[in-house]
């Protein structure tokens, strides 16, 4: 037999052997369960606010600190509420927020209007830090909420439409929201 024929036969045999082993697993494997223990998740909560009395005229208004009876456009009124913070978590950071405006729906029905809202927060008489952490767990935060009724904005509401109305401010919301730490 010629050398080239022998080489061709050997190459063909090698190809057949390689193709025959193409679908087989050529290594061993195993697995085992490990006891990784357990972890607990933290908690972030803000109690329902308890407000002191009703709204009073805010600083900068005539009659500041006195009970509100009838607001007029341009008045600012405020109330103080306390809320309990629950903040449990090793790397927890959170922020207290409130909406910039509140939509006032008067009674009887009249056009709604947006009143500006500002809120100042204190814990033990000191301004609340920008970030709430686990160190604030159990703290009582005092929120001073100020609502300012629009004045002179005829584009959004006819001021005469806001006379002799009942205004419900009971749905103001303060949120405690986790931030990325």
Q: What pLDDT score does 102 carry?
A: 86
Residue 139 has pLDDT above 70, yes or no: yes
Among the residue ranges 15-19, 115-119, 133-137, the one predicted with the least confidence is 15-19
Residue 22 has pLDDT above 60, yes or no: no
Percent of residues, the chain, with pLDDT higher than 70: 82
Q: Where are the domains of the chain?
A: 43-178
Local structure of 108: helix, strand or coil: coil
Q: Copy the structure tokens of residue 78.
A: 């405020």
Residue 144 has pLDDT above 90, yes or no: yes
| Secondary structure, 3-state, 140-165 | EEEEEEEEECCCCCCCCCCHHHHCCC
Closest CA to 149 of 70, 47, 50, 49: 70
């Amino acid at each position: 037999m010629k050398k080239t024929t022998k080489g061709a036969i050997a190459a063909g045999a090698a190809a057949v052997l390689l193709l025959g082993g193409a679908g087989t697993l050529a290594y061993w494997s195993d697995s085992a369960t490990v006891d990784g223990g357990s972890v607990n998740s933290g908690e972030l909560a803000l109690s329902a606010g308890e407000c002191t009395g009703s709204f009073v005229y805010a600083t900068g208004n005539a009659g500041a600190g006195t009970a509100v009876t009838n607001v007029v456009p341009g008045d600012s009124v405020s109330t103080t509420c306390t809320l309990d913070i629950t903040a449990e978590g090793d790397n927890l950071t959170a922020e207290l927020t409130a909406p910039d405006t509140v939509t006032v729906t008067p009674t009887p029905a009249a056009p709604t209007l947006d009143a500006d809202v500002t809120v100042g927060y204190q814990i033990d008489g000191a301004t609340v830090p920008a970030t709430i952490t686990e160190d604030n767990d159990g703290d009582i935060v005092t929120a001073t909420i100020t609502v300012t009724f629009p004045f002179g904005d005829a584009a959004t509401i006819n001021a005469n439409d806001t006379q002799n109305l009942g205004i419900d401010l009971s749905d103001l919301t303060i949120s405690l929201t986790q931030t990325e730490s």
